[in-house]
């Protein structure tokens, strides 16, 4: 279960201490679930951590999108899993295999659990170790090499802090809307995770990572081909081919995201730091950020205009998901202009490493296959957007001498933006005009650039 000290702030967000908030409800739910399991299967091993997590899913107060798991549902699911292990006819292998398959599909697709599969800090290095020293893998010799590799990786991954991370993700998932079969599979994952705590084998990790030696070998070979990026003198066609391979690898081997991202982050860190420090001037026009500007609430815009200040890091962090969706909607013009600014910076960079870092960062703004590419884009977007907000009036990108003016508060005026689009098209900027017109339609969440199936 999720370890929460009695005197810590309650996980529900009330601000009260856990012992004076949700703990009594959690303890009452745990007592009910334990009693039901003990009455049906007296003396059988029931993982304490499983009961605790199910009780937390029931007893924690509702918080934003989280919905407490009904007690009768928690009892039904807990008893169904216990039946599969301790029923009169022995373990129900078919049912447990079905739970395994459903859980595996869930951790690949459910937003709350995807991070346990994609972003584990230690998995890439362990995969490399297992790949380089296959003869040192333990486990029963009768198991296929791939299964023994999976057991070895899971054994080495066992770590109390990691387990707590997984318990947290499982808890949040149990408190989200789930189909009955998915709910049972996620609860079974909690059972396996809690059971592994006692046995020193991370059974849940086997499901989460689904690692085979062959898959690790294939992924490692592809990583070696991709990690350096396209050659510096590559043609546009060769760079696009490299991007296609990168996207294909990220889809086929989702666990390599972290490894590739860390490798690429090392390569671009110097240029990324230069962006953060404002050493690169982007000077982008307002039309490139039209979706982002319209995602700001009118009262926020009034405040910005009144005080003449840019968004602070904390304020930016506090903005809603709609703001991020809008930032991604502006990806094409912002990333294109950021690439040009980075390449210009590379031509005058003080050192050879920084020149290469800037060029590499520019390359990676053209795709969203990896976490580091999204980080790079959002960093460039934030800096360029902050620059824009310091301008009064906003830079329009229209030819010098054009009388059209655009104030920050005009971005919610559809009539003014239509005039802006017409002016852009009249001066030969058709793509810019189309981008502004597309922002006049209601923004709907879309798949991030470069992540289409």
The tens digit of pLDDT for each residue in 129-151 reads 665 666 666 655 655 555 555 55
Q: Taking Cα atoms as reference points, which of 72, 96, 62, 279 lies closest to residue 176?
A: 62
pLDDT the model gives residue 259: 65
Low-confidence ranges of the chain (pLDDT < 50): 118-121, 198-201, 211-213, 300-309, 311, 316-317, 319, 443-446, 450-453
pLDDT the model gives residue 427: 94
State percent of the chain over pLDDT 70. 71
16-61 confidence digits (pLDDT tens): 898 999 999 999 999 999 999 999 999 888 888 899 999 999 999 8
**In whole angstroms, what separates CA 150 from the centre of its chain?**
24
Within a 13 Å sphere around the CA of 257, how many CA atoms are in the beta-carbon half?
A: 23
Q: Is 233 helix (H, G, I), strand (E, B) or coil?
A: coil
pLDDT the model gives residue 304: 43
CB 84 within 8 A of CB 42: no
The reply to whether omega before 393 is within 30° of 0 (cis) is yes
Q: Taking Cα atoms as reference points, which of 221, 188, 219, 220 lies closest to residue 204?
A: 188
**Rounded to 5 degrees, what angle do the CA atoms 32, 35, 36 make?**
85
**Rounded to 5 degrees, what angle do the CA atoms 329, 334, 335 make?**
100
Torsional sign, CA 323, 329, 333, 334: positive
pLDDT the model gives residue 190: 87
293-303 confidence digits (pLDDT tens): 888 765 544 44
Helices (H) and strands (E) counted in the chain, each on its own, are 22, 0
């Amino acid at each position: 279960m999720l370890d929460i000290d009695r005197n810590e702030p309650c996980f529900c967000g009330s601000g009260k201490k856990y012992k004076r908030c949700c703990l009594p409800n959690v303890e009452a739910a745990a007592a009910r679930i334990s009693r039901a399991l003990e009455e049906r299967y007296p003396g059988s091993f029931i993982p304490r951590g499983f009961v605790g997590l199910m009780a937390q899913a029931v007893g924690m107060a509702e918080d934003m999108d989280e919905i407490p798991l009904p007690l009768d549902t928690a009892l039904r699911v807990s008893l169904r899993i216990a039946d599969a292990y301790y029923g009169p006819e022995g373990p129900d292998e078919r049912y447990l295999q079905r739970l395994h398959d459903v859980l595996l599909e869930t951790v690949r697709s459910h937003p709350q659990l995807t991070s346990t599969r994609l972003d584990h800090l230690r998995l890439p290095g362990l995969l490399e170790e297992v790949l380089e020293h296959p003869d040192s893998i333990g486990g029963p010799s009768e198991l296929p090499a791939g299964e023994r590799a999976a057991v070895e990786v899971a054994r080495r991954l066992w770590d109390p802090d990691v387990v707590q991370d997984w318990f947290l993700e499982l808890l949040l998932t149990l408190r989200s809307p789930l189909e009955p079969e998915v709910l049972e599979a996620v609860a079974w994952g909690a059972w396996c995770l809690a059971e592994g705590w006692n046995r020193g084998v991370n059974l849940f990790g086997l499901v989460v990572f689904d690692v085979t030696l062959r898959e690790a070998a294939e992924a490692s070979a592809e990583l070696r081909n991709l990690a350096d990026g396209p050659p510096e003198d590559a043609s546009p066609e060769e760079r696009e081919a490299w991007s296609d391979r990168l996207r294909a690898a990220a889809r086929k081997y989702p666990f390599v995201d972290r490894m590739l991202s860390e490798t690429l982050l090392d390569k671009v860190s110097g240029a990324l730091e230069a962006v953060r420090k404002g050493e690169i001037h982007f000077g982008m026009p307002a039309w490139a950020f039209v979706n982002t500007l319209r995602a700001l609430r009118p009262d926020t815009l009034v405040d910005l205009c009144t005080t003449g200040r840019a968004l602070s890091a904390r304020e930016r962090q506090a903005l809603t998901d709609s703001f991020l969706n809008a930032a991604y909607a502006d990806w094409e013009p912002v990333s294109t202009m950021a690439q040009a600014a980075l390449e210009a910076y590379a031509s005058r960079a003080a050192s050879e490493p920084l020149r290469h870092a800037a060029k590499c960062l520019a390359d990676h703004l053209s795709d969203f296959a990896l976490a580091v590419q999204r980080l790079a884009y959002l960093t460039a977007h934030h800096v360029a957007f902050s620059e824009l907000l310091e301008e009064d009036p906003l830079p329009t990108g229209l030819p010098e001498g054009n009388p059209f003016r655009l104030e920050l508060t005009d971005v919610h005026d559809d009539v003014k933006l239509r005039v802006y689009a017409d002016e852009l098209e009249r001066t030969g900027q058709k793509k810019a005009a189309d981008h502004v017109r597309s922002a006049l339609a209601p923004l709907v969440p879309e798949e991030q650039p470069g992540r289409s199936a």
